[in-house]
Amino acid sequence: GRYHEDQGEGLDFYDVGRSRGAGGLGVWHDNKLWTSRNYRNPRIAKSGGDVARFSVDYAPWPVDVIRNVSETRSIELRTGSSFMSLTSRIRSNTPDPLIIGLGICKRRNAQGSGRVVKGPGLLTFHEPDDPAHGALSITILAPTALAIGHAEDAENHLLLIQITPDQPFTYEVGSSWNRGLDFQTSEAFDRYASGRR
């Protein structure tokens, strides 16, 4: 397809590799992010009108040798919003709390490595500008009551939250493109994201 080329309606130039992309998660343990494989069992709850809603499952995966976890995630996208809502329920074979890393893929190019904005329950990454494609800004917003800090690994900037297994939690992921119509500057997107708190 031609979705990697800008035909006047935007384009997909967001290559995530093995990173968490824009808002994917893993279990943060021993300074390492332990992540699932691909999703399975997609279920569409609503596909038209002003909202799209669907759910997926992630098969159990190991966290070091101490436990196994699995996930069910529901995603809701609303027409006209720059943010989507994600509700996750993580199950575990032990009841101890989990530290979850909500991730944003790192980017680097000849223009630099971008700009990171951190706050309580907030993580934003403004990618370096790409002369051919422009730049994306990605924000994760999580409940401040769950937020415990930030971290990073080789592939991801991370917002850390602490959760209890089998208790759902909801967070938001938003984005903007500096060649789009909504936010022409990263500062404008920062103001919008902060206003959602």
d(CA 124, CA 22): 10
Edge-to-edge strand order for the sheet containing 156-163? Answer: 32-34, 22-29, 98-105, 156-163, 147-152
What would the DSSP string read from start to end of 83-138? EEEEEEEEEESS-S-EEEEEEEE---BTTBS-EEEEETTEEEEEPPPBTTTB-EEE
Model confidence over 91-129: pLDDT tens digits? 999 999 999 999 999 977 766 778 999 999 999 999 988
| Residues making up the chain, counted from first to last | 197
Residue 172 tokens, joined: 């938001």
Edge-to-edge strand order for the sheet containing 67-78? Answer: 40-46, 51-63, 67-78, 83-92, 169-177, 136-141, 122-126, 115-119
3-class SS of residue 187: helix
**Mean pLDDT on 158-181:** 96
User: CB neighbours (10 Å) of residue 92?
Assistant: 20
Model confidence over 43-84: pLDDT tens digits? 999 998 899 999 999 999 999 999 999 999 999 999 999 999
d(CA 54, CA 23): 16
Q: Is the pLDDT of residue 13 over 60?
A: no
d(CA 128, CA 111): 6
Model confidence over 134-168: pLDDT tens digits? 888 999 999 999 999 999 999 999 999 999 999 99
Cα–Cα distance list, 58 to 62, 64, 96, 162 (Å): 12, 17, 20, 19
What are the backbone dihedrals phi and psi of residue 50, each rounded to the nearest 5 degrees, phi first? -95, 0
